[in-house]
Structure 1
Amino acid sequence: MERQAVETARRWLADQGVRQVRDGWVSDEKPGELLTAAQVAQSWAGDVFAEDLDTADQLRLAFGLLDLLDEYWVTCEIRFAHDGSEGSLPADVLWDGYRRRLEVDRDAEAVTYSLWVDWFEDHTTSATAFAEVLGNDIDRVVADPSEALLRRACRVLECSGPVRWPVKVPTYRIALRLPALHPALFRGLRASFHDVYGDLEPAAALTLLDQLDIPMNTQHRAELRHVLAAGHKNHYRSPGAWDDAVRACS
């Protein structure tokens, strides 16, 4: 959480007549009605992009609101603005905002969920998004793995299932050099098989799986190896394959 961004967002909400109380939020319009953070996000987050600010400052304010409310809906409004009639949001501010929040030592579910379902599942944005949040930095992560960089790398790998295999496999192969990333890389491979939009090449994925330094009894490792060895690319394209693997490995 970035304190200055949070306080800026808090002041902005106060200007809209919204303030935080002990058990939630209240608005001047309905002072007797307690609001959740989700309700505040859904009602006010979109207004950030109507403020008389340049686009970069609007985006910074939106990220501050995300830090304050910790609600996925704020990321939706960021994506709506990115796709809006005014044109794309400034890439440096957008992806720096994601990278910073992937590195913090606190829950980042809203950010990782946003990456997964809004940026990685959309094949018009997944290559750029994956490169910006990890692919461009993976050599640096492996060479000098600070705690913050490791957190970011692990979080991105774990939700990277929908990214097209040719886009992510070079990053996966570099991540293989750092054993600290192997558990997250395993979860990324597993998601690449199980996600509705997951993507992998079975033979190449099997080669990676067999090089991971993880316990042989890691949950689902044997089943994943079984389906990959059988040439299956995705759970939803081969709906009975995983059940067969569970029976074979039990």
Structure 2
Amino acid sequence: MSDGKPDVLLTAGEVAHSRAGDVFAEDLDAADRLRLAFGLLDLLDEYWVTCEIRFANEDAEGPLPADVLWGGYRERLEADRDAEAVTYSLWVDWFEDHATSATAFAEVLGDDIDRVVAEPSEALLRRARRVLECSGPVRWTVKEPTYRTAVRLPALRPALFRALRASFHDVYGDLEPAAALALLDRLQLPADTRHLAELRHVLAAGHRNHHRSPGAWDDAVRSCS
């Protein structure tokens, strides 16, 4: 309910925008404030809560405890429930910012990829797929070792294909065409996989990003049709 109008129900988004920041003013230590914020995220399922978490991480009293911060992200990426707010947060906030992308990617997947491949539980696979699919903006030099390890596990190959495609199409996507093409060929996807031929075409032509070569994808579509 609204403070000014107690009979008016607020939406989850309105609660997130009006109350999420207050969590970090509670008389608790930083770790417990962060846990409370993650609890609010679970309750509201609103991206804005993740924004308040990042604001708190960057303010004068930050950074937030890294083990609680990234443990909270990993837990929600592994959960068998919708994780759109969390993956969107990774994509547009943590991964697009080169000051944070390497650490964020390492924490949510890069440091664990060997374990994921060796012990592929459903929870770990769920996290890996979700991170791969939003990892387009992460610098190629940061994510390539993880991609090369992930390709060894057939269960991750469709997500890795989407990661390569996003690395080409995202506004801030990053890849090295020759290395990405070599990875693409290792995926062993069915030949009729949607957009596979087009992606192979643009990578073979040496294109790094859709927005740097705006006509390349259309040319690939015509050539592959």
The answer for the alignment partner of 2:35 in structure 1 is: 60
Q: CA deviation at 1:28?
A: 4.5
Structure 2 unaligned segments of length 5 or more: list them. none
Q: Name the structure 1 match of 2:47.
A: 72
Distance 1:39 1:213 in 2: 46
C-alpha deviations, 1:77-128, integer Å up to 9, x for none? 0000001011201000000000000000011000000000000000000000
Aligned residue pairs total 225
Q: State how far apart, in whole Å, the 2-side matches of 1:63 and 1:69 are.
A: 10
For the aligned residues, what is the CA RMSD?
0.7
Of 129, 134, 138, 1:154 maps to: 129
Would you say 1:164 and 2:139 are equivalent positions? yes
> Which of residues 78, 81, 88 in structure 2 aligns to 1:103?
78
Match of 2:209? 234
- Following superposition, the deviation at residue 27 of structure 1 comes to 3.2
Residue 30 of structure 1, CA deviation: 1.3
**Rounded Cα–Cα distance in structure 2 between residues aligned with 1:86 and 1:101:** 25
Q: CA deviation at 1:32?
A: 2.2
Whole-angstrom distance in 2 between the partners of 1:164 and 1:183: 20
Which segments of 5 or more consecutive residues in structure 1 lack a partner in the other structure? 1-25
1:33 shift after superposition: 1.6
CA displacement, residues 43-91 of structure 1 (integer Å, 9 cap, x when unaligned): 0000000111000000000000000000000000000000101120100
CA distance in 2, matches of 1:172, 1:110: 23
Q: How far apart, in 2, do the equivalents of 1:188 and 1:80 lie?
A: 27
TM-score, normalised via structure 2 length: 0.99
Q: Among 20, 43, 50, which residue is 2:18 paired with? A: 43
Counterpart Cα distance in 2 of 1:65 and 1:228? 43
2:84 maps to amino acid: E
Q: Distance in 2 between matches of 1:126 and 1:218?
A: 30
In 1, Cα distance between the equivalents of 2:178 and 2:3? 60
* 1:58 partner SS: helix
Question: Could you list the per-position Cα deviations for residues 213-239 of structure 1 after superposition, in whole angstroms to 9, with x for gaps in the alignment?
Answer: 321111111100000000000000000
In 2, Cα distance between equivalents of 1:161 and 1:216: 23
Partner of 2:197: 222
SS of 1:137's partner is helix
CA distance in 2 between counterparts of 1:111 and 1:200 reads: 23
Q: Does 1:120 align with 2:105?
A: no
Secondary structure at 2:221 match in 1: helix
* Partner of residue 181 from structure 2, selected from 203, 206, 209: 206
- Percentage identity across paired residues of the two chains: 83
Q: Distance in 2 between matches of 1:141 and 1:176?
A: 12
> Partner of 1:88: helix, strand, or coil?
coil
Q: Which aligned pairs between 1:20-35 and structure 2 lie closer than 5 A?
A: 26-35=1-10
Q: Hey, what's the Cα distance between the residues in 2 that align with 1:186 and 1:180?
A: 11
Q: Normalising by structure 1, what TM-score?
A: 0.89
